[in-house]
Copies of this chain bind each other. A is one copy, B any other.
Amino acid sequence: MPEMKGFMPPRSPEGRASIVPPPPWHYSGDVLTIEYRTDPARVAALLPAPLEPADDDPGAVAVVFADWQSCSDTFEELLDPVRAQYREAFVVVRCAFRGELYSRCVYIWVDKDFALARGWHQGYPKKLGSIWMTHPVTVGKAGPRLEPGGRFGATLSAGDRRLIEARFTITGPSDSNGFVNALPMLHSRYFPSIESGAAPSMDELVTMKSYDWEASPAWKGTAELVLHDSPTEELTAIAPLELIGAYYRSVAASWREGTMLRSNRGDRGDGT
């Protein structure tokens, strides 16, 4: 009797039709991170029980723009780049769970379906958006150089509405790339039941690490950040009160799997 193949739906006889090829997945890209403080109560309101706010700087938020190339372990997507390239914008906060501090992505938009599905697997709550981010250049005038004074813009829109506008100007090299998105991720994987009122079909807390991590030297700078309203977003609830820092660098990593910390169908490990 047939066994369907494929990492995610659609599962098929050969497994080629899956919305995303199986892990490991390899990523290389350029990343702009802007960290700011909002009202800590607004961050706390984004953390489902039993997650708790970070004790230190509980209103810290990172908005990240990234321009990625990614591929499976066959590397074949790199030669058909419509299947490899995507851009994303996302919002990260920190939280505590069982005494450990984590990073947590609360909102995220990408521009390809394979990236959306891959994110859902990892607990990134992805939706589609249109993301633009200035490229640094090495020749000519139509772009910033990776050096002090280099200026970048980045925008997100979704549903034909502009949601985030960011600007970044390099002031110098940086030892840090920020602290909000620097911890292991703590994500929810949630899927409602097909039956009204029933418990979710999937309701997990997971954590994950990437491997073969590599990064270019980082740049820091000044930034401006504006979050706009939309009937289908709650971004303005976490509007910036104060900027913390802004960073730019190239990053690469591979990802194979995460760890399930807790499931609504029975905990694993040290209990809660």
Q: Which A residues are within 8 Å of any B CB, using their own CB?
A: 1-4, 7-14, 16-17, 19, 23, 26-29, 44-50, 68-71, 75-76, 78-85, 106-108, 112-113, 116, 120-123, 125-128, 130, 132-135, 137-144, 151-155, 157, 159-162, 167, 188-196, 198, 201-202, 204, 206, 208, 212, 214-216, 231-234, 237, 250-254, 256-260, 263, 265
Contact = CB atoms under 8 A, between A and B. Distances in A.
A11 B193 contact: no
Given A2-B47, A142-B26, A202-B202, A11 B134 contact: no
Closest 10 CB pairs of A and B: A140-B252, A10-B125, A9-B125, A79-B153, A28-B140, A1-B49, A28-B142, A113-B128, A194-B258, A157-B160
Given A50-B1, A113-B128, A139-B250, A154 B234 contact: no
20 contacts: A1-B50, A8-B191, A9-B190, A10-B106, A10-B107, A11-B125, A13-B46, A13-B234, A17-B233, A78-B134, A81-B132, A81-B134, A81-B135, A85-B132, A116-B116, A194-B208, A194-B258, A196-B257, A198-B260, A265-B265
B196 A256 contact: yes
Given A75-B141, A112-B128, 18 more contacts: A2-B44, A2-B46, A7-B192, A11-B48, A12-B107, A19-B125, A28-B141, A78-B134, A81-B135, A83-B159, A137-B252, A142-B252, A160-B162, A191-B201, A194-B259, A198-B260, A201-B263, A265-B265
